[in-house]
Homo-oligomer: A and B are copies of this chain.
């Protein structure tokens, strides 16, 4: 039995145990729905992402394409994608290796992400590819776009293809396209003979890390995706199969919900391990985009790193307007001195009656990280149910996209 992620919640934080339990119990019907989605493998449900951790088809699809492009010479996995298409992969890669790439430059393969549009990045990447990539086996390009039409991804893909086509023949075989089965990008990939991986229709970007979106690049990068899936599966099963009042994701969601009602508009995820910063960013997107649906629901996620941000964030949280609910994420493998700081901070929060939870991640193994990601996706689904909103769409994004299209049409 692998070490399990644990959660702690201070009863001193102004919410009675009885009230907390009543809120958790409100989730019991929804939890039954989630259980049904999983047992029936209901890919038509909004919560379809819960079926991914034991979907063998998706694992095999990813591993098959991996077997076609992997080799001992592979140096760079170039991921072209933005938001939900890249944040999960970056989170897992950085937590496992990437945070240390600058001081571990010979470890290969490395992940390079092309997300937004940055002319200087493009210029430097062009020179880098010229000097570091000499054979098609040196790299794989993975283009990830659920809709297939993401503007940044399209532009970056075209630019990158131009760069590579000049130098290598048959570049198509080094490209893997991950997209919806019915997108124009999928058609394009098939016409050009590129490898194609598909994403189940109902699985949105921010819930897609256990689909081909995450599994393929992560397995290529040397992360044990079977362990990742096992962590996710165990967490999911533990949450769905235990009584709701013992469900740790329901606990986390209920605390966030009640604290939000009590005026804690901000949820600070305070990670006491710098390598987990990208994990925080993944969660930031998940919480902001899923729950920001009406004035009484949105919670603003912030990400802090311990002990780097401690001075500034502690000063603000202790003395400022007390709008913040904190989740400390502590890492099982750390030095005693950092443990002393963590514990001292938590004691001071308790004395000041500042609400917080603690999530203890046993280590940075794929199994632990898989647990964490699944825990947070469940927490956000439960939160959506408590707030009475749809956690799976993003209607307001259209407000600015419409304006961008108008400008580009001119």
Query: What interface size band does chain A fall in?
Result: 35 or more
Q: How many angstroms between the C-alpha atoms of A84 and B311 in the bound complex?
A: 9
Residues of B within 8 A of A292 (CB): 312, 315-320
Is B121 touching A103 in the complex (CB atoms < 8 A)?
A: yes
Is A289 touching B312 in the complex (CB atoms < 8 A)?
A: yes
Residues of B within 8 A of A48 (CB): none
Tell me the residues in window 295-333 of chain A with beta carbons closer than 8 Å to chain B beta carbons. Answer: 295-300, 302, 305-324, 333
Partner of A400, one of B110, B117, B124, B345: B345
CB distance from A112 to the nearest CB of B (A): 7
Does A120 have its Cβ within 8 Å of any Cβ on chain B? yes
Residues of B within 8 A of A297 (CB): 320-321
| Residue-wise interface mask of A (336-358) relative to B, using a CB-CB cutoff of 8 A (1 in contact, 0 not) | 01101101110111011000000
Stretch at the interface among A218-226, A227-235, A237-245, A389-397: A389-397
Interface of A is mostly: helix
Residues of B within 8 A of A347 (CB): 400, 403, 407
Is A119 touching B335 in the complex (CB atoms < 8 A)?
A: yes
Interface core residue of A315, A394, A402 (most chain B CB under 10 Å)? A315
Chain copies in complex: 2
By beta carbon, the residue of chain B nearest A317 is B292
Q: How many angstroms between the C-alpha atoms of A289 and B405 in the bound complex?
A: 40
Known: A103-B128, A403-B345, A407-B340. A305 touches B397 (CB 8 A): no
Does A265 have its Cβ within 8 Å of any Cβ on chain B? yes
| Residue-wise interface mask of A (372-410) relative to B, using a CB-CB cutoff of 8 A (1 in contact, 0 not) | 000000000000000000000011110111111111100
CB distance from A127 to the nearest CB of B (A): 8
Is A289 touching B265 in the complex (CB atoms < 8 A)?
A: no
Does A105 have its Cβ within 8 Å of any Cβ on chain B? yes
Is A340 touching B289 in the complex (CB atoms < 8 A)?
A: no
| Complex A-B: 22 CB contacts under 8 Å | A83-B310, A104-B128, A118-B273, A155-B337, A265-B321, A265-B323, A284-B312, A285-B309, A288-B312, A288-B315, A289-B312, A293-B320, A294-B320, A295-B321, A296-B321, A298-B319, A300-B320, A314-B397, A319-B396, A340-B407, A343-B403, A344-B407
A contacts, CB < 8 Å to B:
82-84, 99-105, 110, 112, 115-121, 124-125, 127-128, 151-152, 155, 206, 265-266, 273-275, 284-286, 288-289, 291-300, 302, 305-324, 333-335, 337-338, 340-341, 343-345, 347-349, 351-352, 394-397, 399-408
